[in-house]
Chains A and B, each alone.
Chain A
Amino acid sequence: MATSSLLPNNSNATTTKPVVREWADEDDSSNNNKLPPREEWYDEEGLKHVVEYHFNDDNKLVKTTKVFRVKKQTRQVSKTVAERRHWKKFGDCQKAPPGPEPGVTAVSLDDISIEYKHGEGSEGEEDLKAKEQKDIQKMLAMQRFKRRLEERRAGVANWAQLMALKAGAQRDELEAPATNTNAANTGKYVPPHLRAGAKTSSDSSYTRDDSATVRVSNLSPNTTESDLQELFRPFGNIRRIFISKDRHTGEGKGFAFVAFSNKEDARKCIEKLDGYGYDHLILRCEWAKPSENKRGQK
């Protein structure tokens, strides 16, 4: 039976400061390259103090003080294991002093626990709650920040004033709907599509015609474009296929848009493929809803 001591458990404090020396001390060159000896002692509380000196890159003497709380853990081990504790270091670490080498063995800075999958274990649930709380806090802070930003932009002292200002502006807009056309005369820059006589977006050739587009969902993540080509080609000419993918992982998100050139083809496709079993999943096909945001911007 034997005892074995572990790592110094709590490294309480490490302070490093260059030792300031008078210029007059420097002339004694024999003293210059000598390091003061390493000191080690235990204080009355049982804390271990280690003082070490070394030269830093600027050739200045650096004093490092480390304070350890040393815990001795006693464990019972078999005789052979106890004998092995007397093994001397060999190979690449032959010259290393006893104890873990600083650059080789490290204690992780992060406290890592098992992340349970179904919220098993009380700890996982608590973690989740704490995280939720944090998220809400973050959201509120962001909202406050945005408000302050808007206030500053509008040059008002508080939110209430800003709201009043906005309400006023809206009324102004209603009263003077023709400001845009007059803008050209005032010398302000007006982007081409807002200038008088510019085509409105509804008749521009850029707008996508979503009327013959089918939204396919419940796809498996590794469906490729060519898979969908194969599946949808029988129904008619396909203009374009878009598969939604995760930006980081490149994995499919499980839905895609297929644009037909003919609306009738799209209708047939929805009739046939909605509820169709594909790749062990049941597909869902429906008309793509036009994305409201984009419409609004144009």
Chain B
Amino acid sequence: MRPLILKGHERPLTMVKYNSEGDLLFSTAKDSTPTVWWTSNGERIGTYRGHNGAVWAIDVNQDSTRVVTGSADNSAKFWKAENGECIFTWPHKSPVRCVCFSSDGRFVFAATAMLMGQSSEIYQYRVDKESSEEATVPVRTFVGHSATVTRVVCHPSGTTLISTGEDGTVRKWDIETGQNTETVTAHQKSVNDLQLSKSGGQLITASSDFSAKILDFRSLKVLKTFLTDRPVNSAAISPILPHVLLGGGQEASQVTTTGDRAGRFEARLFHLIYEEEIGIIRGHFGPINTVAFSPNGRQFASGAEEGFIRLHNFDEDYFQTNYN
């Protein structure tokens, strides 16, 4: 397998995201241009121009017509996916750390960082009407975080919002009422990534405390723990095999002070049930900040601190190997 290397970004990657069909890959980095790519050949389709700072997160709606991004320039933006036209800009009082669409695509959630004297809050905006007045006022605000929200994900059922924080918590919110229904401290350090399994039954969290965990969506109980020897920045569950992919590496500030062997910038594949490491996939020369499985499970994307995205298509023997 010869991975495709996408060199469109000039700064460390912050997030990669497949659309629901898996033909598009959206990426954001600490430069100001979110980018969209064809996953079949790595061709760059376009960039969303308008942000004025690092872009922390991106999400695309179910039919891949709209894109939402959150940036450190204290704004979230709403775009037309196919031509990069900015529809709305939501100004905030502190950097927007994460964004997501509701499962029906009618709402957008944007969470702000606990910085500049602001508390971390999740704002819900309505985006199904084209009039901008209605869209710029938040429908609801989810208050009650004790640390910066690092990821928000809307559960496919459409009734629940899940958020993770820098204090290691995983929270469930009722979208109808805006109430925090459940809070679990799953990690000792910051949770860096949150992704759902294909069915939505489980969530996977990646944390700086060197571990990734699988939580049951209903009870928020920790079902599985994957231990590594470095901070985990991102984790994803394979949609077709009982596999989990972790991306991480030593902290960026330490990269230049140690040897290259110490970095451990490989993506690691774990067995979901046995919690054992299956293998590693090398390639990056900086810590991996974000990983994602394509919806058909035959490809994955990883974005790293060095500014490159790598698209790996799995070899046929990956699917034929018996992992039990």
Contact = CB atoms under 8 A, between A and B. Distances in A.
Interface of A: 4, 6-7, 77-78, 80-81, 84, 87-94, 96, 99-101, 103-117, 120-123, 247-251
Interface in B275-324: 276-283, 310, 312, 314-315, 317-318, 321, 323
Interface stretch (B87-95, B153-161, B254-262): B254-262
A6 B40 contact: yes
B212 interface: no
B7 A91 contact: no
8 contacts: A87-B45, A91-B49, A92-B8, A105-B41, A105-B44, A107-B3, A114-B281, A115-B282
Contact of B261 (A87, A89, A249): A249
Contacts of A92: 8, 33, 46-47, 49
Contact of B84 (A81, A91, A249): A91
Contact of A108 (B4, B24, B315, B321): B4
Contacts of A116: 278-279
Nearest to B46: A90
B44 A108 contact: no
- Secondary structure at the A interface, as helix, strand, loop or mixed, is loop
Among A77, A84, A105, A123, the one with the most B-chain Cβ atoms within 10 Å of its Cβ is: A105
B44 A93 contact: yes
A249 B281 contact: no
Given A112-B1, A117-B279, A90 B45 contact: yes
A122 B41 CA distance: 29
Q: Which of B4, B7, B44, B310 has the most CB of A within 10 A?
A: B44
Interface in B43-73: 43-49, 63-64
A106 B280 contact: no
A7 B23 contact: no
Given A91-B47, A248-B262, A120 B3 contact: no
Interface of B: 1-8, 21, 23-24, 33, 35, 40-49, 63-64, 82-84, 258-262, 266, 269, 276-283, 310, 312, 314-315, 317-318, 321, 323
Interface pairs A-B: 5 shortest CB-CB: A91-B47, A248-B259, A90-B46, A249-B262, A105-B42
Contacts of A88: 83
A123 B21 CA distance: 32
Given A84-B82, A99-B43, A249-B262, 8 more contacts: A80-B63, A89-B46, A90-B47, A91-B49, A105-B7, A106-B42, A114-B281, A250-B262
A250 B258 contact: yes
Nearest to B260: A248
Nearest to A106: B5
A112 B261 contact: no
Contact of B280 (A90, A104, A115): A115
A100 B44 contact: yes
A106 B7 contact: yes
Nearest to A116: B279
A117 B228 CA distance: 14
A91 B43 contact: no
Nearest to A122: B317
A116 B6 CA distance: 26
B4 A114 contact: no
A24 B6 CA distance: 46
Contacts of A99: 43
A89 B49 CA distance: 13
B82 A91 contact: no
A96 B24 CA distance: 18
A107 B4 contact: yes
A110 B5 CA distance: 11
B269 to A, nearest CB: 7
B233 to A, nearest CB: 20
Contacts of A251: 262
Contacts of A115: 266, 279-282
A120 B258 contact: no
A89 B45 contact: yes
Contacts of B84: 90-91
Nearest to B312: A112
B21 A81 contact: yes
Given A84-B23, A250-B258, A123 B47 contact: no
A107 B44 contact: no
Contacts of B279: 114-117, 120
A81 B281 contact: no
B315 A113 contact: yes
Contact of A80 (B7, B43, B64, B277): B64
Kindly name the residue among B8, B33, B43, B278 whose own CB sees the greatest number of chain A CB atoms within 10 A.
B43
A104 B64 contact: no
A81 B18 CA distance: 13
Contacts of A80: 21, 63-64
Nearest to A111: B2
A148 B266 CA distance: 42
Contacts of B8: 92, 104
A126 B317 CA distance: 14
A248 B46 CA distance: 41
Nearest to A103: B7
Contacts of B5: 105-108
A104 B269 CA distance: 27
Contacts of A250: 258-259, 262
A70 to B, nearest CB: 13
A163 B284 CA distance: 51
A211 B84 CA distance: 75
Contact of A91 (B3, B33, B281): B33
B283 A104 contact: no
A121 B279 CA distance: 11
A77 B258 CA distance: 47
A108 B3 contact: yes
